[in-house]
């Protein structure tokens, strides 16, 4: 079902329809206040796309990403992931999807502090039921691909921000997901390291056809993507498909 | 996720917090050790009482002079002289009674070669040894003819024999009791303590006639200090008690409405009460120890709750990379159970060590059974599951997004 389709017709990977999200907060008087963050978001993302989402702080980008990543549920509207209605899935099925089909990269890396880089990368495999020695072997190969094998036995606090983020990306990719979600992946990194990370994303998208959705505040980071979506106060105000062929390469 | 991997994760978490794990485990260790120790003390007391009862002989009555209302068992006073040897002979004739053993007693100075020893001397009849369930290590009891003739023959208790003769075989030797020569005819097998805690093995037995005439003397000839009466069977004990009372009232010419001048006690019934008391004591001790196990369990729950709160973000990350609720639940439950099982193991060892120490220092009988250890261990695991489940459940039911956002 999630295996990349081999035919020429591009498959819709993500389909959002009238998606709304409200948060309920109890105020000091015990009354429940409700604030709506996303308003009737409708969105289609095809397999193999590389999408950047931009918008002011508080516009609902992270909220949208959490819903896309099956970490949170919408208040109303529907979310179809690879033609399955996410609202109808059980907790275990959602965990399975997060494990096998989605890779998540965070602004703050979110590595497990008390584990080595190697074990961090291997953990999703453990949850996939693969034994520890096989998991470690595969994790090491994944780290080699990102040039981090030297740091396999380092703990996160012994790594630079860029190295930590690359470990986190390795972890997100270890189960060969079809969708990579990145919420401000370069937000904590300098411009040089940011460029390295974005080049890596670009390669993954172009060479492996990995679908990538990333959130950023910086126009030059967004320029790596092939499609730009702008959010304003929870509403999609701009959605432009760059022409793939005519897209100027940011590295030039 | 396979179980081995989860066990690994749980062990890793416990190792990372060694001090906390150790302190939590300490609660469990103390609880389990206390349970093992208390149960073994209780079981020891019960076993000891059972041994004393077994050594006492079955279907026994104790008949002492004096009314019941004059203050319980008064066979130390020696002031009341209403029971006689012929009373004992008459009771032995009853259908419901198989034998009697009348006793007069005093203390006497014993000597053999250069050794001296002072102990209790019991004048009685040959039946006494059967009634009192005594076994002979060597030799035999004195005989009816010894009794009739007032012969100077003696049967030694195990400790008296050891103290006086050491390695020498006492049978056939002549020893002195208050300076009169006596021939040793038998040595008894050791019995240990009686129900009332008296040592029963430092004792010498001579024919009651010999004692009365030559050793203890008797202000009122023929009177005795007490007698043991053995009933015919357990079923006829009540009947026997009534017959003994009727016979003695008749013999002592006590008119209707007057108080008995003797007291009949059913020792078997007393023994049953003692057994019951020991059982209750075991239960109470066990219950008290269980409280500490409970406290240990609450300690575990407390620590696990803190741990869940502290590691909320970690739980969120694990969920984001694919941990389902069962994996999170299992990991936290296993952490709690490992504390309990390791604590339980150490606690059992400590409890056994403590029991051994108590038996050495306080000279108490301690009995440890595999059932007891199993019980303590079972309770430790149960406490782990019970008190570990709530925090684990709490961790597993977190929403991934909320857990991730937790600071
Ligand atoms: N758990 C929550 N409870 C209540 N309100 C929330 C919660 N999470 C987010 N919000 C609100 O939702 C709105 C959107 O938040 P969101 O994190 O999606 O913004 P964002 O676009 O990612 O901003 P930034 O660029 O600063 O990361 C904000 O106004 C925020 O206050
Ligand atoms: Mg955000």
Atom of ligand 1 minimally distant from the CA of A64: 18
Query: What spatial distance separates the first Cα and last Cα of chain A, rounded to whole Å?
Result: 38
Q: Are residues B115 and B241 in the same domain?
A: yes
Q: Is A110 on the interface with B (CB under 8 A)?
A: yes
**Helix axis angle, B267-310 relative to B312-320, nearest 10°?**
70
Distances (CA, A) of A33 to A22, A29, A72, B94, B204: 10, 10, 19, 96, 95
Asked if A69's CB is within 8 angstroms of B322's CB, the reply is no
Note the pLDDT of residue A243.
Answer: 43
Q: Is residue B318 part of a domain?
A: yes
Nearest protein Cα to ligand 1, atom 16: A60
**Percent above pLDDT 90 for chain A:** 79
Residues in A closer than 8 angstroms to B14, CB to CB, are none
Selected residue of A127, A128, A175 to mutate for chain B interface (largest B Cβ count, 10 A)? A127
Cα–Cα distance, A30 to B360 (Å, whole number): 65
From A27, A39, A60, mutation site for ligand 1 pocket: most ligand atoms within 8 A of C-beta: A60
- A149 class by beta-carbon count within 10 Å (0-12 exposed, 13-18 middle, 19+ buried): middle
Considering only A6-20, A41-55, B163-177, B235-249, which range has the smallest mean pLDDT? Answer: A6-20
Nearest residue on chain B to A66, judged by CA atoms? B401
Q: Give distance in angstroms: CA of A121 to centre of ligand 2.
A: 24
Closest CA to B127 of B153, B176, B89, B169: B89
Note the pLDDT of residue A81.
Answer: 95
Note the pLDDT of residue B219.
Answer: 67
Q: Which of A92, A114, A124 is facing B321, going by the closest CB pair?
A: A124
CB atoms within 10 A of CB B198: 12
Q: Are residues B282 and B256 in the same domain?
A: no
Note the pLDDT of residue B402.
Answer: 92
A contact residues 68-107, partner B, Cβ 8 Å cutoff: 69-72, 91-92, 95-96, 98-100, 104, 106
pLDDT tens, A137-185? 999 999 998 889 999 999 999 999 999 999 999 999 999 999 999 999 9
Note the pLDDT of residue A205.
Answer: 95
**Cβ(B367)–Cβ(B278) below 8 Å:** no
Q: Are residues B193 and B281 in the same domain?
A: no
CB atoms within 10 A of CB A221: 24
Cα–Cα distance, B145 to A114 (Å, whole number): 92
**Cβ(B2)–Cβ(A129) below 8 Å:** yes
**Helix axis angle, B267-310 relative to B325-361, nearest 10°?**
140
| Residue A62 Cβ < 6 Å to ligand 1 | yes
3-class SS of residue B399: coil
Q: Can you give the three-state secondary structure of chain A, one letter per residue?
A: CCCCCCCCCCCEEEEEEEEEEEEEEECCCCCEEEEEEEEEEEEEEECCCEEEEEECCCCCHHHHHHHHCCCCCCCEEEEEECCEEHHHCCHHHHHHHHHHCEEEECCCCCCCCCCCHHHHHHHHHHHCCCCHHHHHHHHHHHHHHCCCHHHCCCCHHHCCHHHHHHHHHHHHHCCCCCEEEEECCCCCCCHHHHHHHHHHHHHHHHHHCCEEEEECCCHHHHCCCCEEEEEECCEEEEEEECCCCCCCCCCC
Q: Which of B2, B12, B324 is facing A91, going by the closest CB pair?
A: B324
Q: Are residues B184 and B249 in the same domain?
A: yes
Q: CA quadruple B112, B115, B118, B119: dihedral positive or negative? A: negative
Q: Where are the beta strands (DSSP E) in B330-385?
A: none
**Cβ(A188)–Cβ(A162) below 8 Å:** no
Considering only A85-89, A190-194, A201-205, B298-302, which range has the smallest mean pLDDT? Answer: B298-302
Q: Are residues B118 and B249 in the same domain?
A: yes
Q: Is residue B70 part of a domain?
A: no
Q: Are residues B249 and B280 in the same domain?
A: no
Parent domain of B385: 3-52+273-405
Note the pLDDT of residue B346.
Answer: 94
| Residue A216 Cβ < 6 Å to ligand 1 | no
Q: Are residues B250 and B299 in the same domain?
A: no
Q: Are residues B39 and B138 in the same domain?
A: no
DSSP code for B189 = P
Asked if B401's CB is within 8 angstroms of A71's CB, the reply is yes
Q: Is residue B199 part of a domain?
A: yes
Q: How confident is the model at residue A38 (pLDDT cuts 50, 70, 90)?
A: very high
Measure the CA angle with vertex B39, ends B33 and B44; round to 5°. Answer: 125
Helix (H) or strand (E) holding B175: strand B174-177
Measure the CA angle with vertex B12, ends B7 and B14; round to 5°. Answer: 95
Q: Are residues B213 and B280 in the same domain?
A: no
Q: Is residue B74 part of a domain?
A: no
Note the pLDDT of residue B272.
Answer: 81
Closest CA to B177 of B96, B107, B245, B235: B107
Note the pLDDT of residue B191.
Answer: 83
Residues in B closer than 8 angstroms to A129, CB to CB, are 1-2
Asked if A124's CB is within 8 angstroms of B322's CB, the reply is yes
Distances (CA, A) of B210 to A12, A13, B90, B152, B246: 117, 114, 21, 7, 30
Cα–Cα distance, B177 to B181 (Å, whole number): 6
Q: Which of B314, B322, B401 is facing A127, going by the closest CB pair?
A: B322
pLDDT at A97 over 90: yes
Note the pLDDT of residue B74.
Answer: 46
Nearest residue on chain A to B312, judged by CA atoms? A112
| Residue A37 Cβ < 6 Å to ligand 1 | yes
Beta strands at A76-81 and A84-85: parallel, antiparallel or unpaired = antiparallel
Would you write out chain B's pLDDT as a tens digit for each of its 407 residues?
Answer: 578 888 888 888 888 888 989 998 998 899 899 989 988 988 888 888 888 777 777 888 999 888 765 444 444 444 567 888 889 989 999 989 999 999 988 888 898 888 888 888 999 999 999 888 888 999 999 999 998 998 999 999 999 999 899 888 999 999 999 889 999 999 999 887 777 777 888 889 999 989 888 877 666 777 888 999 999 888 888 899 999 999 999 998 888 888 888 889 888 888 888 888 888 888 888 888 888 888 888 888 888 889 889 899 999 999 999 999 999 999 999 988 898 889 999 999 999 999 999 988 988 888 888 888 888 888 888 888 888 899 999 889 999 999 998 87
Report ipTM (2 d.p.).
0.90
Q: Are residues B118 and B232 in the same domain?
A: yes
Q: Give distance in angstroms: CA of A63 to centre of ligand 1.
A: 6
Which ligand gives the minimal distance to the CA of A53?
1
Closest CA to A6 of A206, A151, A209: A209
Q: Are residues B38 and B106 in the same domain?
A: no
Size of interface A-B (CB pairs under 8 A): 76
Q: Choose one of B204, B239, B260: the last residue of a domain.
A: B260
Cα–Cα distance, B22 to A157 (Å, whole number): 26
Name the domain count of chain B. Answer: 2
From A19, A23, A184, A229, mutation site for ligand 1 pocket: most ligand atoms within 8 A of C-beta: A23
pLDDT at A1 over 80: no
What token pair was written down for A150?
A: 């030297």
Q: Would you mind telling me the total number of residues written for chain B in this entry? A: 407
Helix (H) or strand (E) holding B106: strand B97-112
Nearest protein Cα to ligand 1, atom 8: A63
Distances (CA, A) of B216 to A118, B148, B151, B334: 93, 17, 15, 74
Q: Is residue B310 part of a domain?
A: yes
Note the pLDDT of residue B222.
Answer: 78
Distances (CA, A) of B189 to B133, B140, B202: 10, 12, 11
Q: Choose one of B239, B260, B281: the last residue of a domain.
A: B260
pLDDT at A54 over 80: yes
Q: Choose one of B197, B226, B260: the last residue of a domain.
A: B260
Q: Is residue B396 part of a domain?
A: yes
| Residue A163 Cβ < 6 Å to ligand 1 | no
Pick the residue with more confidence: B199 or A6?
B199
| Residue A27 Cβ < 6 Å to ligand 1 | no
Which whole number is the average pLDDT over A61-72?
95
**Helix axis angle, A91-100 relative to A117-127, nearest 10°?**
130
What is the average pLDDT value for chain A, to the nearest integer? 89
Q: Are residues B252 and B284 in the same domain?
A: no
Count of alpha carbons within 13 angstroms of residue A188, beta-carbon side: 16
Q: Is residue B66 part of a domain?
A: no
Nearest-neighbour CA in chain B from A252: distance (Å): 36
Q: Is residue B60 part of a domain?
A: no
Q: How confident is the model at residue A27 (pLDDT cuts 50, 70, 90)?
A: confident
Q: Is A129 on the interface with B (CB under 8 A)?
A: yes
């Amino acid at each position: 079902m999630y295996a990349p389709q081999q035919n020429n017709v591009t498959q819709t990977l993500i389909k959002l329809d009238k998606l709304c999200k409200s948060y309920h907060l109890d105020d000091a008087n015990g009354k429940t206040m409700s604030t709506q963050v996303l308003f009737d978001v409708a969105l289609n993302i095809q397999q193999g796309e590389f999408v950047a989402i931009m918008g002011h702080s508080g516009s609902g980008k992270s909220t949208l990403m959490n819903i896309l990543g099956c970490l949170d549920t919408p208040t109303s509207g529907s979310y179809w992931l690879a033609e399955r209605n996410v609202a109808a899935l059980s907790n275990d099925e959602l965990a399975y999807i997060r494990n096998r089909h989605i890779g998540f990269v965070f602004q703050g890396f979110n590595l497990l502090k008390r584990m080595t880089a190697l074990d961090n990368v291997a953990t999703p495999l453990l949850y996939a039921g693969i034994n520890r020695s096989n998991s470690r072997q595969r994790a090491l190969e994944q780290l080699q691909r990102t040039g981090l094998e030297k740091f396999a036995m380092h703990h996160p606090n012994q790594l630079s921000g860029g190295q930590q983020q690359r470990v986190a990306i390795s972890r997100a990719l270890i189960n060969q997901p079809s969708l990579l979600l990145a919420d401000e992946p370069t937000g904590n990194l300098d411009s040089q390291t940011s460029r390295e990370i974005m080049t890596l994303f670009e390669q993954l998208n172009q060479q492996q056809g990995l679908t990538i959705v990333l959130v950023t505040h910086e126009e030059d980071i967004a320029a790596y993507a092939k499609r730009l979506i702008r959010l304003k106060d929870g509403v999609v105000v701009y959605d432009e498909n760059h022409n793939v062929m005519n897209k100027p390469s940011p590295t030039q | 996720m396979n179980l081995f991997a989860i066990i690994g994760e749980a062990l890793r978490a416990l190792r990372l917090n060694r001090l906390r794990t150790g302190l939590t485990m300490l609660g469990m260790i103390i609880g389990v050790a206390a349970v093992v120790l208390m149960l073994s003390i209780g079981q020891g007391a019960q076993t000891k009482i059972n041994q004393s009862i077994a050594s006492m002989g079955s279907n026994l009555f104790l008949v002492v002079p004096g009314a019941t209302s004059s203050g319980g068992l008064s066979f130390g006073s020696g002031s009341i002289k209403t029971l006689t040897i012929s009373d004992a002979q008459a009771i032995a004739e009853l259908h419901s009674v198989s034998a009697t053993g009348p006793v007069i007693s005093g203390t006497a100075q014993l000597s053999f070669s250069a050794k001296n020893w002072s102990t209790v001397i019991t004048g009685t009849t040959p039946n006494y040894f059967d009634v009192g369930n005594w076994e002979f290590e060597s030799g035999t009891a004195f005989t009816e003819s010894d009794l009739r003739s007032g012969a100077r023959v003696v049967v030694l208790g195990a400790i008296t024999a050891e103290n006086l003769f050491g390695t020498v075989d006492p049978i056939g030797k002549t020893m002195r009791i208050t300076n009169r020569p006596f021939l040793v005819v038998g040595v008894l097998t050791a019995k240990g303590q009686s129900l009332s805690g008296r040592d029963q093995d430092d004792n010498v037995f001579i024919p009651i006639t010999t004692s009365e005439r030559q050793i203890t003397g008797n202000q009122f000839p023929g009177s005795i200090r007490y007698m043991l009466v053995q009933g015919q069977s357990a079923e006829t004990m009540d009947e026997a008690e009534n017959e003994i009372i009727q016979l003695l009232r008749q013999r002592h010419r006590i008119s209707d409405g007057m108080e008995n001048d003797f007291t009949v006690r059913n020792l078997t019934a007393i023994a049953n009460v003692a057994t019951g008391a020991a059982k209750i004591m075991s239960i109470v001790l066990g219950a008290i120890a269980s409280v500490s196990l409970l406290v240990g369990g609450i300690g575990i729950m407390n620590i696990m709750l803190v741990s869940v709160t502290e590691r909320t973000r970690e739980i969120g990350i694990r969920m984001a990379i694919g941990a389902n609720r069962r994996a999170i639940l299992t990991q936290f439950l296993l952490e709690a159970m490992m504390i309990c099982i390791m604590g339980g193991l150490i606690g059992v060892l400590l409890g056994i060590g403590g029991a051994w120490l108590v038996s050495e220092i306080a000279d108490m009988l301690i009995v440890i059974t595999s059932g007891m250890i199993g019980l303590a261990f079972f309770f430790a695991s149960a406490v782990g599951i019970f008190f570990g489940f709530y925090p684990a459940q709490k961790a597993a039911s977190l929403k991934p997004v909320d857990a991730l956002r937790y600071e």
